[in-house]
Amino acid sequence: MPGPLDGYRIIDLTSMISGPLATMILADQGADVIKVENPDGGDHTRAANNRRAGFSASFLNNNRNKRSVALDLKHPAAKQALLRLAATADVFVQNFRPGVADRMGLGEAAVRAVAPRIVYVSISGFGETGPYAQKPVYDPLIQSVSGLASIQAGSDTERPRLVRTIVPDKLTAVSAAQAITAALLARERPGEGHGQGQHVRLSMLDAVVAFLWASDMGSQTFVGEEIPQQEAASFIDLIYETATTAISAAVQTNREWLALTRALDKPEWLQDPRFSTPALRQRHINERLSLIQDVLRTRPAEEWLDRLTEAGVPCAPVLTRTAMLSDPQVVANGIVVEAEHPQAGLLRQARPAARFSATPAGIRQGGPALGEHTASVLAEIGYSASDIQALTLREDAA
């Protein structure tokens, strides 16, 4: 059965993570994603470490279900081929530095001239204007400017810390995939501003600041109030040592706090004035978490998880990446799947996160070899075998 985006074609000029992951989400959902790459090496992640049979794990994990076309866009014939391909597409996605696509002759105006209803998507690091717009961008820079590194430190006065995964890249990818789908939906509906293709602009900084505001920017919310220095939530996280392995437990409501004191056999905490209300428990969070940690060290993780679960306290084991693969919850939901790649062999990957009852997403094919589909895709848009040979020979010679 086809996925929900079956029948939509996406031209993907992106590389690294944010753009390719966005288009892979759409490819998993059935879109025909044609990844256009430079014949000289292709996507930068193709050269990453952790490799087998010439394929890096990073490339495979962000580019499955796509077709690869190799075109050297410095050559007019290759650029013309790309524009002919764009004329058959619904979406055109690029993540060049602001202004580069226009200088290449692949900006919105050039693409819309051949595809008037196309959704044109520009993904950038810091946005298209402003003093940082032309800076080269990697994830740590966005974590730094957005305030995420300060939030991760726990307080404005502590040394900023990076989240140990590339949150800005991946969050931008999810935001872009949603925005592309919304733009396609708007194109299909009548009404003001609808019924047409539009330009979707998204920066990594946009995505992270919007993401943080939901829970971490309370002291910056009320305009006109004196903004205090951001206070520390806690210097102790909700990962607890036990006599064996680590666990996590978290309580928010009065009912959960009562359940925790019961599971830990600490009824006296209910009489402690520091912990009598949710607000006071938050104010004295370090003391509260330290007391909990002292108790949890006394027994094995398995015993605590049983007791906490029985009492109704939210809790879970803390797993390594390898242990996660065999966790019964992960296994029961089929979150990690295996699929055969023709060159790289048997791969283990996360299945598409969203599940559709009538139009299931899935893994149809692994990440493509560089230029694997150049001939077949160009043939689909009317290039003859001799035209294709001439184009590829010209690029090989260059």
**pLDDT tens-digit series, residues 305-345:** 999 999 999 999 999 999 999 999 999 999 999 999 999 99
Q: Are residues 278 and 147 in the same domain?
A: no
Q: 123 with 261, same domain? A: no
Pair 147, 292 in one domain: no
- Kindly state the percentage of the chain with pLDDT values over 70: 96
348 in a structural domain:
no
Confidence of residue 144 (pLDDT cuts 50, 70, 90): very high
Strands 199-203 and 247-249: unpaired
The DSSP 8-state label assigned to residue 341 in this structure reads E
Looking at the structure, do residues 188 and 243 belong to the same domain, yes or no? no
Domain count within the chain? 2
Mean pLDDT across the chain, nearest whole number? Answer: 95
CATH of the domain at 319: 3.30.1540.10
Full domain range(s) for residue 97: 9-214+368-397
243 and 204, same domain (yes or no):
no
Does 43 share its domain with 135?
Answer: yes
CB 356 within 8 A of CB 2: no
Q: Give the per-residue pLDDT at 127.
A: 98
Per the domain annotation, does 121 fall within a domain?
A: yes
Q: Do 54 and 167 share a domain, yes or no?
A: yes
Could you tell me if 176 and 128 lie in one domain?
A: yes
Last residue of a domain, one of 324, 350, 378: 324
Q: How many CB atoms lie within 10 A of CB 211?
A: 18
Smallest CA-to-CA distance from 84 within 99, 106, 102 is with 106
**Quick check: helix, strand or coil at residue 1?**
coil
Q: Is 160 helix (H, G, I), strand (E, B) or coil?
A: coil
66 and 152 in a common domain: yes
Contacts of residue 50, defined as CB under 8 A and 6 or more positions apart, other chains included, come to 56, 57, 58
CA–CA gap between residue 81 and residue 84 (Å, rounded): 5
Choose the final residue of a domain: 303, 324, 345. 324
Q: Please give the pLDDT value at position 236.
A: 76
Band of residue 394 on the pLDDT scale cut at 50, 70, 90 = low
Predicted TM-score (pTM) of the model is 0.94
Nearest one of 279, 316, 259 to 269, comparing CA atoms: 259
Q: Is there a domain that residue 136 lies in? A: yes
CATH of the domain at 159: 3.40.50.10540
Cα–Cα distances (Å) from 39 to 56, 72, 151, 354, in that order, read 17, 6, 42, 34
Sheet containing strand 239-240, strands side by side: 239-240, 247-249, 315-317
pLDDT on residue 392: 82
Scan for tokens 């430190």, then name that residue: 153
pLDDT on residue 234 = 65
Q: Is pLDDT above 70 for 118?
A: yes
pLDDT for 232: 59
- Is 397 a residue whose pLDDT tops 90? no
* Residue pLDDT, tens place only, 227-245: 765 665 666 789 999 999 9
Instruction: Identify whether residues 305 and 169 lie together within a single domain.
Output: no
Residue 358 has which token pair?
Answer: 């009538």
Does residue 19 belong to any structural domain of this protein? yes
- Whether 147 and 34 share a structural domain: yes
Residue 55 backbone dihedrals phi, psi, to 5 degrees: -110, 130
Q: How confident is the model at residue 103 (pLDDT cuts 50, 70, 90)?
A: very high
- Digit-coded pLDDT (tens) for 4-14: 999 999 999 99
What are the tokens at 380?
């689909």
Query: Which residue carries 């993540």 as its tokens?
Result: 95
